Structure 1
Amino acid sequence: MKTESKIFLFLIIFFAVVTPSYAYVTWQMGHFEVIGTTVFALTLLFCLMIWGLLVITGRTVGMRPEDRKDGEIVENAGALGFFPPSSIVPFWSALAITVILLGVVYGWWLSLVGVALGIWGACGWAYEFYTGDYKH
């Protein structure tokens, strides 16, 4: 996590310099650009959030083989986790998010339909391994 946290620390410093500079330059040109400044500020905050997560995780987990000079490839060998081979649940979740966002455009009632689909998708994620071929 050491290398990744350094990359995000560089991005934090970069956006901490660019955000006020952008705001000042657009203000001096006669029209303050709110959207651009907001985007830079949010990018700074998101990079700060990811950097904080990497630092906390790095302290909790400790040094990984990739972070050590004497780390070997074989140290990371083995299973990474369990992943389902196929599932329809991501499709339903993506459809729910799409319908919710289209509801903002076409009418809030459509967002309610998207929330219902989202509940269906969340239940699918939660109970995916309790039914069908992969139940245990």
Structure 2
Amino acid sequence: MKIQGRMFIWLSVFILIMAIVYGVWSKEPAGTTALFLAFGLSVMIGFYLGFTARRVDAGAQDDKEADVADDAGELGFFSPHSWQPLMLGFGGAIAFLSIAVGWWLIYFSAPFIVIGLFGWVFEYYHGENRTQ
């Protein structure tokens, strides 16, 4: 993770230079704003990856002598049967459609978003109050 954090920080430096050059040269506000926002996003990702790299063990990508097989194994738990992302995607699509059609449509998307979000967060909840 350490190398990815450095890559994003260097990318953010490049984007910042290009944003300044583009803003001075073109005097076009939309593209300049987009480049400055890309700079901010790149800094956030680079900071997060660098911050997280200090708290986790070094991976195979951080070792210059590592083989591809050294990074094999389980990467994490991913739910194979969850319908909640589909519900959130549907609600998000209706919410973004409301920008083009009319803001009244967001009232129809809110239940899909809320149900999908709560369903996804509490999908594997096994607390003391759960019924059998």
Same fold (TM over 0.5): yes
Letter in structure 1 aligned against 2:99: V
Letter in structure 1 aligned against 2:33: T
Describe the SS at the equivalent of 1:128: coil
In the alignment, which of 101, 122, 127 is matched to residue 127 of structure 1? 122
Q: State the match for 1:102 in structure 2.
A: 97
CA-CA distance at 1:94 after TM superposition: 0.4
Distance change in 2, residues 1:23/1:5 (3 Å): same
Larger RCO, structures 1/2 (Cα 8 Å, 6+ apart):
2
In the TM superposition, structure 1's runs of 4+ consecutive aligned residues that sit over 6 Å from their partners are: none
Q: State the match for 2:15 in structure 1.
A: 15
Q: State the match for 1:29 in structure 2.
A: none
Matches within 5 A, 1:28-107: 32-71=27-66, 76-107=71-102
CA-CA distance at 1:22 after TM superposition: 0.5
CA-CA distance at 1:35 after TM superposition: 0.6
Distance change in 2, residues 1:112/1:66 (3 Å): same
CA-CA distance at 1:15 after TM superposition: 0.9
Q: Which has the higher helix share?
A: 1
Q: State the match for 1:133 in structure 2.
A: none
In 2, distance between residues paired with 1:37 and 1:88?
Answer: 39
- RMSD over aligned CA atoms reads 2.1
CA-CA distance at 1:3 after TM superposition: 1.8
- Listed as ranges, the gaps of 5+ residues in structure 2 are 126-131
CA-CA distance at 1:5 after TM superposition: 1.6
The answer to whether 1:5 aligns with 2:5 is: yes
Describe the SS at the equivalent of 2:12: helix
CA-CA distance at 1:126 after TM superposition: 2.4
Count of residue pairs brought into register by the alignment: 126
Letter in structure 2 aligned against 1:37: T
- Listed as ranges, the gaps of 5+ residues in structure 1 are 27-31, 131-135
Identity %: 30
In 1, distance between residues paired with 2:57 and 2:74?
Answer: 20
